Structure 1
Amino acid sequence: MIPIATSLLISLVSSHADAPDADLVLHGGRIVTLDQRCPVAQALATRAGRIVLVGSDADVQGMIGPKTRVIDLQGRLAIPGFVESHAHFVGLGQAKALLDLSTAETWEEIVQRVKAAVQQTPPGQWILGRGWHQEKWKQTPEPNVGGYPVHRALSDASPHHPVRLTHASGHLCVANAEAMRLAQVTRSTRPPDGGEILHDAAGELAGVFREAAQDLIGPREGDALERRQSLLRAIELAGQDCLSEGITSFQDAGSDFDTIDVFRELAESRRLPVRLWVMVLDDPLQMQPRLARYRMVGVGDDYLTVRAVKQFCDGALGAHGAWLLEPYDDLPTSAGLNTTSPAAIERVAELAVRFDYQLCVHAIGDRANRTMLDLFEQVFRRHPSETSRRWRIEHAQHLHPDDIPRFAELGVIASMQAVHCTSDAAFVIARLGRQRAATGAYAWQSLLKSGAIIANGTDAPVEDVDPLSCFYASVTRKPASGNAFFPEQRMTRQQALRSYTLDAAYAAFEDDRKGSLTPGKLADVVVLSEDILTCPEERIRSAQVVYTIIGGQVRYQRER
């Protein structure tokens, strides 16, 4: 008897025996398809942007014509193109123009970097940076408020240039005196709802702004032309970064209507660098009159889809902003912040149901996650559906054990970023205590065993957009220290691959055309220098992207 996979493969091949030549053929490799009917193959052929054949080297020979591009994989691994399931596309590009503070080991080093930037920047112009994290410094800065640096040294280093330095999480910033003067922020300024302005023991401004209070600080927007040029440049830079990392689809975690207009213009003119699936993040008052006409699927040969809305329930753990059921172990006076009221999110949820959008809510702390699961459940009861709405909780980092099975029960996607686990491991136990960390922090295996779907990503520019680093974090949970963080929650390599391909596509209602190398689906493929499914785990970190292919077109090729 012929095995099922083989017989199915024969039927796929025979259907193309007399078909026109392929546009692209990959052969001589190990092609892992994530299609159970033919899980592993040697070769693949594409035509008109779609996969038309997956099989053996012999199977594709008849599809090679004079204009077919043929790539010998030389035994390398080819897999479905990576789907970045939660990151910030424009923010990724914009971050390329900021001071990179991610490698700084002390507050003093950051002050010196700003001082050097002052020498190269005309007086009065803003100095912007991002990426610092106080928990990763060698020592706590002095003076400090709750471990966060007070602005004085920064203000001394830059008396005539306004400075805003954003925390690695994106949920907190530190500003100098000149920036606060321009913003007209004083010790008596009241923070906006969902934000906090930190003060020192004497009641003076520390220069630290948490969550919504960050909006008080920053440069004014330029004119329309300047904003457009800046946006186009950010899109270009983000696209280059994604292609070099093997990302073929990017789920953008929040863009406003004006930005979506530019995305659509680029998609329709075939100028978007990667496929985008976008969550609308805008003034809720703007949503109701605009959601109907902004819902779009597959614009520009499947380069742009807008079918989700984004909301925030809390902040970030690193900035003590994640909303917890119990206070922080290292800050007993606080249980974090609820940044948008559940009532306001529920109003947006009703709009999502009305206009057939997915609802994606940022929730990191266990209280935020429980509150959103409760809200989702209430909405689902009011508006029953025969199929899953595939609503999503973005991050789902810290869960009460009682809430873990609710994701699968409700059909809610856990959109998680594995690299956050290894990046945050240095301070998670300090924030939560060992018991909470052990039972609910980045509980991937517990979620998967309960039947939940995990979509993986990086939250770039919070972390590097590199999927291979995230894959490594998924299967090892090893931070820089080398000691695995609650290793019982590691994903298997197959689970990690699915979370970055087929399950990520499912989380966006795109698994019918993405996420596996199946005839009929979009020809989005990445070729790697290492077989990350079988190589020693430390070699995963040295793997490189050799080819990134979108729609059967080679969009990136590593230089030899």
Structure 2
Amino acid sequence: MQTTVYLAERIWTLDTERPLARALAVRDGRVVAVGTRDEVRATAPGAREVDLGAATVVPGLVDAHAHLHGLGRSLTTVRLEKSPSVEEAVRRLSQAPESSFQGDWLLGRGWDQNEWPGGAFPGRAELDAHFPTTPVFLTRVDHHAAWVNGEALRRAGISRDTQDPEGGRILKDARGEPTGVLVDNAMDVVAAAMPPPTKAQLETRLRAALERCAQVGLTGVHDAGMDLDAFRLLQQWDAEGTLPLRIYAMAAGQGDERHAYLEQGPWQGRMLKMRAVKFLADGALGSRGAALHEDYCDEPGQRGLLLMSPEELESRARAFMSKGFQVCIHAIGDRANTLVVDVLTRVSEETGTKALRHRVEHAQILRREDITRLGAAGLVASVQPTHATSDMPWAEARLGRERLRGSYAWRSLKEAGANLALGSDFPIENPDVLAGLYAARTRQDATGRPEGGWLPEEALSGYEALEGFTRGPAWASFEEARRGGLAPGQDADFVALSVDPVEGPAKALVDAQVLATVVAGVEVYRASP
């Protein structure tokens, strides 16, 4: 077993006894020494040396809430992010590569009506004019709404007489005709008419996603709701020793596949682990599906959607807790967060499973009393810094100033006692973890706006942000003894960066580079010289 010594200008160990070092030695996938260059060299005479120059090394960066299959699909189908208009979105569709088709369905993702003139939802007419016979299915940037054409509606059997499904909305015009926009559970009605991806498509998508994660400096991902086919494929790769990153998978708890996961129970391989399940309590703020206690300020009479009844949510949570699963529940709106804190607190007490570290995924808009209750219950607050900087141009229009006081409230959650685990929710946001570190510190966009940050009292320090992408996810996945830091005996997962994310200027993170990504002592990415 060869020993490798890595040298760098600065190494953040997150070890309170020795937070900074300049060298670390790795053997057999573990850290065996950390310290000065002379100290580490003395422990490993004749070791291979890798000099990272002026780089700063940090413990392995982990995205605590993401979607690998979704990222792979976004990388291989039509990308509509940042399209400035409906016309531009349609133009991109007309140039779709072959990989954008699933069967004969044309797929794309990333549209956001908030970035278009007028901010109104699109309609099927724009798609029908260009794709009269090809079914088109385009997911919104938040994956909580879809824009489809008439052929897709026809194949799904949706007409003016179709009623909204439980937890979903089929938007209709003044004549009662479907507009082509489906919110939350209504999306499933059309998705059910699509053929599934082929195994080759699934392999291509997952490999593209894993490669992209390594490039942006991620050594691990918490996959928030993995479908069974993707899980089986990753199990195969893990057994073959070809899985390059650590994957903490949450079973998809919404559909019928949950029964297979319940029967299987928690599972652990070498690089892949599943001991969690993910449910959806509500929709997203951008599509007005987030469940609120009071009306949306910009749509009176609308309070969003609960995607399953409180009774069903509690029943499913209880079933999975009883099988030893950590329960993770998506909650965006304040009504959803009240419900989720209630369910997780009560059911974990009744089942004696508080030690399973149950999680609130997003914990985005909360009443102040629910922030206190979430922290007191010791729940994990799995939050995404770039959601705040993406939503800030229009969030106040949706919520009003008063409700913003408990929104995207990372510092308040931390001070209340919640365990913060930071992520991106990719592909809804970019998987770039450096953008997450920047947003957590500044609460600004890449141009430095707004001056002083948006709701700056909720910002994190550079050290706290780094902990959020290292120690936080390690604790949230029961791996704090092995990961989240760089001390002898811990796994050799680390990332070399061109800037210091803790003490360097926050602005430098905008243009920073990932120089190398190392997982279990294996270099899975190295930037070109």
Corresponding position: 1:232 with 2:210: no
Aligned to 1:460: 426
In structure 2, the CA distance between the partners of 1:232 and 1:376, relative to structure 1 (3 Å rule), is: same
Farther-moved stretch of structure 1 (105-114 vs 409-418)? 105-114
Superposition CA RMSD, Å? 2.2
- Pick one of 97, 118, 121 that aligns with 1:140: 118
Aligned to 1:8: none
Pairwise CA distance, 1:532: 1.7
Corresponding position: 1:212 with 2:185: yes
Give the TM-score of the pair, scaled to structure 2.
Answer: 0.95
| Alpha-carbon distance in structure 2 between the residues aligned to 1:384 and 1:122 | 47
Aligned to 1:106: 85
| Alpha-carbon distance in structure 1 between the residues aligned to 2:180 and 2:194 | 22
- The 5 Å alignment of 1:304-453 reads 304-384=272-352, 388-437=355-404, 439-453=405-419
Identity in percent = 37
Q: Do the aligned partners of 2:251 and 2:261 also contact (CA within 8 Å) in 1?
A: no
- The 5 Å alignment of 1:53-202 reads 53-64=33-44, 68-117=47-96, 125-137=104-116, 139-140=117-118, 147-202=120-175
Farther-moved stretch of structure 1 (474-483 vs 309-318)? 474-483
| Alpha-carbon distance in structure 2 between the residues aligned to 1:238 and 1:498 | 24
| Alpha-carbon distance in structure 1 between the residues aligned to 2:528 and 2:409 | 38
Aligned to 1:268: 239
Deviations 1:112-148 (A, max 9, x none): 22234499999993221111111122x126xxxxx21
In structure 2, the CA distance between the partners of 1:544 and 1:379, relative to structure 1 (3 Å rule), is: same
Farther-moved stretch of structure 1 (288-297 vs 172-181)? 288-297
> What is the SS of the residue equivalent to 2:394?
helix
Deviations 1:474-501 (A, max 9, x none): 1111136710211111111111000000
- The 5 Å alignment of 1:528-547 reads 528-547=497-516
| Alpha-carbon distance in structure 2 between the residues aligned to 1:282 and 1:311 | 5
Pairwise CA distance, 1:287: 4.0
Deviations 1:297-316 (A, max 9, x none): 3x12xx01100011110000
Deviations 1:418-476 (A, max 9, x none): 10000011110000001111x11100111111221111011011011010001111111
| Alpha-carbon distance in structure 2 between the residues aligned to 1:148 and 1:291 | 38
Q: Do the aligned partners of 2:78 and 2:97 also contact (CA within 8 Å) in 1?
A: no
> What is the SS of the residue equivalent to 2:355?
coil
Deviations 1:195-251 (A, max 9, x none): 11000112111110000111122485657xx62212211111011000001101110
| Alpha-carbon distance in structure 1 between the residues aligned to 2:6 and 2:267 | 32
In structure 2, the CA distance between the partners of 1:273 and 1:123, relative to structure 1 (3 Å rule), is: closer
What amino acid is the match of 1:207? G
What amino acid is the match of 1:33? T
Q: Do the aligned partners of 1:23 and 1:552 also contact (CA within 8 Å) in 2?
A: no
> What is the SS of the residue equivalent to 2:492?
coil
Pairwise CA distance, 1:353: 2.3
Q: Do the aligned partners of 1:257 and 1:282 also contact (CA within 8 Å) in 2?
A: no
> What is the SS of the residue equivalent to 2:180?
strand
| Alpha-carbon distance in structure 2 between the residues aligned to 1:118 and 1:58 | 54
| Alpha-carbon distance in structure 1 between the residues aligned to 2:338 and 2:397 | 22
What amino acid is the match of 1:261? R
Aligned to 1:32: 12
What amino acid is the match of 1:467? V
| Alpha-carbon distance in structure 2 between the residues aligned to 1:120 and 1:277 | 27
In structure 2, the CA distance between the partners of 1:449 and 1:55, relative to structure 1 (3 Å rule), is: same
Pairwise CA distance, 1:22: 4.9
Q: Do the aligned partners of 2:101 and 2:107 also contact (CA within 8 Å) in 1?
A: no
Deviations 1:394-426 (A, max 9, x none): 001101011111122111100000100000111
Q: Do the aligned partners of 2:249 and 2:273 also contact (CA within 8 Å) in 1?
A: yes
In structure 2, the CA distance between the partners of 1:471 and 1:96, relative to structure 1 (3 Å rule), is: same
Larger radius of gyration: 1
Q: Do the aligned partners of 1:479 and 1:485 also contact (CA within 8 Å) in 2?
A: no
| Alpha-carbon distance in structure 1 between the residues aligned to 2:421 and 2:55 | 25
Give the TM-score of the pair, scaled to structure 1.
Answer: 0.90
Aligned to 1:291: 262
Q: Do the aligned partners of 2:421 and 2:469 also contact (CA within 8 Å) in 1?
A: yes
Aligned to 2:217: 246
| Alpha-carbon distance in structure 1 between the residues aligned to 2:37 and 2:522 | 20
